[in-house]
Chain A
Amino acid sequence: MEENATVWEVFIQSKNGLAHKHAGNVHASDKVMALENARELYTRRNEGSCIWVIKSEYIVSSETEDSEAFFDPSNDKMYRHPTFYTMPEGSKHI
């Protein structure tokens, strides 16, 4: 299996309605195996209600050397935060 095993990223949804969160990765040679391995490794202690697995090669990541160009420009743009609005009275979770 080692020769054709690839790495898959695992995302676990802890409760219905919540976002799937990255939990880690597993080795597997097909998608069925990837899902089962993820189940074995990441949901043993009642962590999840749904699992997503995706081949790591399909994840496109930004590079560290690009971080200046990618993220620094938003540092001084306070106006992008909706902090200048007055909240309606009694509204929660905003």
Chain B
Amino acid sequence: MSSLFTYTLRIADSSLILGQRMSEWCSNGPTLEEDIAMSNISLDMFGQANGFYQYAAQLDGTKSADELAFRRNEREFFNHQLVEQENRDFGTTMVRNFLHDVFNFLFYTELSKSKDETLSALASKSLKEVKYHLRHSSNWLVRLGDGTGESNTKVQDALKELWMYTGELFEMDNLDTELLNNGIAVDNSALKSEWDSIVNKTLVKAKLTRPEDAYMATGGKKGLHTEYLGFILSEMQFLQRAYPDAKW
């Protein structure tokens, strides 16, 4: 596996898994309007994932984008652990998405300057959608945090629980560093201060308290996941596993 292939796959995996999580809201949204908003976001994430999988498939030369999405096991997925966390309630979903949207916004901004033309083009295209996603989740965070006592408690609790999955976003491993030196990859660790600043500003507006940095989970990049990814994959991959190459 080439480094570029793995790097591309990691980006695609985070988009796909967050898209799958958001699709669970389809028909379950708190209002008709919000149901459609979340389904739209889900489809945006699938679109982004598809772009990166197509590129990965082209780099790999043997597997198709569909095979990459539907025929890999849990340990072969490299998404951030944050995106596989459960939706729970609407507030928790918005907190999870907000934390990831801020990262995605900064990440794609940098990736759009990559020396790899395909990654750069995919990043620029994704960035437009991510800007909207960030706007959507930030506004909800403020609305819920600065809403009722109950809504504030719910998002504050969600923030505390999900905080441990934010450390991983800024990790750099050997593969990242190698591609960074070639001008292809993003320096994730350099995104942290800007991420902190956007998150802090929004939390103040939302009357929420930033959790203390404590234990941070890690492993997504190596294919290590929380208990939830397996369940997501078994549902998402069922059809292709049961009826390989099924077409409709």
Contacts and interface: CB of A to CB of B under 8 A. Distances in A.
- Name the residue among B31, B32, B40, B139 with the largest chain A CB count within 10 angstroms: B31
A41 interface: yes
A33 B36 contact: no
Nearest to A29: B143
Contacts of B31: 1-2, 5, 27
Given A40-B40, A44-B40, A32 B139 contact: yes
A41 B32 CA distance: 9
A37 B135 CA distance: 12
Nearest to B135: A36
A5 B34 CA distance: 13
A53 B34 CA distance: 17
A37 B139 CA distance: 12
Given A1-B31, A2-B31, A27-B31, A36 B136 contact: yes
A40 B31 CA distance: 13
B interface SS class: helix
Interface string B17-36: 00000000000001111101
B33 A27 contact: yes
A51 interface: no
A2 B32 CA distance: 11
Interface string B24-54: 0000001111101100100000000000000
Interface residues of A, number: 15
A36 B37 contact: yes
Interface residues of B, number: 12
B81 to A, nearest CB: 29
A47 interface: no
A61 to B, nearest CB: 23
Contacts of B36: 40-41, 44
A40 B143 CA distance: 18
A28 interface: yes
B40 A36 contact: no
A37 B136 CA distance: 10
Interface string B89-105: 00000000000000000
A44 B37 CA distance: 10
